[in-house]
Homo-oligomer: A and B are copies of this chain.
Amino acid sequence: MAKSEKPYHHGDLAPSLRMAAREILKEEGLSALSLRSVAKRAGVSHAAPYRHFASREALLVDLAIEGFADLRNEIVKAAAAPGLPADRIAHIGAAYAGFAARNGGLLRLMFGSELPNRAEFPALKQATDSIGAEIGRALGDPVIGLAAWATVHGLAILSIENILDLGQVQAGMDVLPSRAEILLRSLFSQPLH
Using Cβ atoms and an 8 Å threshold, which residues of chain B touch A184? Answer: 147
Selected contact of A128 from candidates B108, B155, B163, B189, CB within 8 Å: B163
A140 on interface, CB distance cutoff 8 Å: no
Total interface residues on A, CB under 8 Å, equals 36
| Closest partner residue, chain B, to A154 (CB atom) | B154
Q: B144, A186: Cβ atoms under 8 Å?
A: yes
- Scan residues 123-160 of chain A and give those whose CB is less than 8 A from a CB of chain B: 128, 132, 143-144, 146-147, 149-155, 157-158
Using Cβ atoms and an 8 Å threshold, which residues of chain B touch A171? Answer: none
Given contacts A29-B113, A113-B30, A163-B111, A150 and B158 within 8 Å (CB-CB): yes
| Closest partner residue, chain B, to A129 (CB atom) | B163
Q: A147, B155: Cβ atoms under 8 Å?
A: yes
Counting every copy of the chain, the complex holds: 2
Given contacts A154-B155, A158-B153, A147 and B113 within 8 Å (CB-CB): no
Nearest Cβ on chain B to A132's Cβ, whole angstroms: 7
Using Cβ atoms and an 8 Å threshold, which residues of chain B touch A80? Answer: none
| Closest partner residue, chain B, to A189 (CB atom) | B191
Q: How far is the CA of A112 from the CA of B163 in the complex (A)?
A: 10
A4 on interface, CB distance cutoff 8 Å: no
Q: B29, A132: Cβ atoms under 8 Å?
A: no
Q: How far is the CA of A24 from the CA of B189 in the complex (A)?
A: 44
A118 on interface, CB distance cutoff 8 Å: yes
Q: B164, A158: Cβ atoms under 8 Å?
A: no
Q: B146, A150: Cβ atoms under 8 Å?
A: no
Besides A118-B161, A147-B183, 10 new A-B residue pairs in contact (Cβ under 8 A), listed by A number: A119-B162, A146-B183, A147-B187, A150-B150, A150-B152, A153-B158, A154-B154, A154-B155, A189-B191, A191-B191
A-B pairs, 6 with minimum CB distance: A154-B154, A150-B154, A153-B154, A150-B155, A151-B151, A147-B187
